[in-house]
Amino acid sequence: DLETKNHLGSVMPARGSHSSARDPWSSPTAALDKKTETLSTLTQSTSPTTDNTGTPSPCLNQQRDMTTVTPCAAKASLAPCPLCPQGSLPASAAHEAYSPKGEQKQLGGTSAYVVGDARFGSAIVVAHDVFGGDWGLHKQVCDMLAEGGHLVVMPYFFTSAPYSIEPFYAGNIVPQGKEWLSEFDWAHCSKILEPVHTFLDEAGITRVGAIGYCWGAWVVAKMTQDPSKCHAGVWAHPSCQVDRELYGGVSEKELAAAIRSPTLVLPSRHEPAFYSDGSLEGVASGNGVAWETVKFGDQSHGWMTRSAGWLGKYYEAGSDQIKAAVGVQRAVNASLGFYAKHLPY
């Protein structure tokens, strides 16, 4: 089989191909295969290290660059996310052929991927999905948003090992994965965002939007409750049920009722009907909040961040890889158009 280039510019591996590249996830994944391993083994503290200059370095997840991992290394992750709707795409590793255009930065105590130019005067804060910002297309989509004319910042919200929910799925210990994810409630996430807002203020940014994928859509829903800090939000294949399921919060409709900034929802065919049938829009409109929905009925939950890495059965279906790549580009276009209206010059 020959390598195939998708429409996003990354190179897809031939089906059945293998790589001898080192997999930095092999250690936690191997440990998870042992049913006797405990949660403490996975979530043991990884404190910041110090380099030879005495300067603290980022934690393990902040140093790891998944662009060095081949999609074959993520084969253990082909099981879908139990927190996501049935039929969702599995995790995908960032492909080694793509070189991110941004850089990792320490913003106060927050590690973040930053790309774009502050001279645009507007910024997009990206909230990653449950697999974390180093997986799949996260950095590539950040780069695409930056090319649309924004400074883009993706903070890393998961600050304890294993820094992604993927190893819990690979090890078939999903309940422990949900317990781990429950650590990252709004009190935690808002603290992660504080130095991000400071960074944007110091950069002279006056208009801030946000986009979140899956779990990250819930983060955006919380951000847009304060219109002084976030002026427009996008939910991509949202999993906002985590507010009530993991954090003792409210329903999706109650969450929408608390939003005060314009919101665009990009549901796939797998999200519950209320994301696309006007139910949430009716709630928001009653509060004078602009609300738009663009349904991607031919896409699966997770397509924006997981559909063009290792595609699993998507890749084997052949033409579907083009459909998935086009879906990512269309979703980016829709988001940029929404920001153009609500983050005005």
181 torsion bin: left (phi>0), alpha (psi -120 to 50), beta (else): alpha
pTM of structure: 0.75
Report pLDDT digits (tens) over 94-153: 556 788 999 999 999 899 999 999 999 999 999 999 999 998 889 999 999 999 999 999
- Identify the band that residue 321 occupies on the pLDDT scale cut at 50, 70 and 90: low
Which pLDDT value is given to residue 240?
96
Phi, then psi, of 58 in degrees rounded to 5: -60, 160
Specify the pLDDT at position 172: 87
Cβ–Cβ under 8 Å, residues 299 and 270: no
* 121's tokens: 């005067």
Q: What is the pLDDT of residues 249-297, one digit of tens each?
A: 999 999 999 999 999 999 999 899 999 999 999 999 999 999 999 999 9
pLDDT at 86: 54
Task: Report d(CA 3, CA 32) in Å as an integer.
Answer: 32
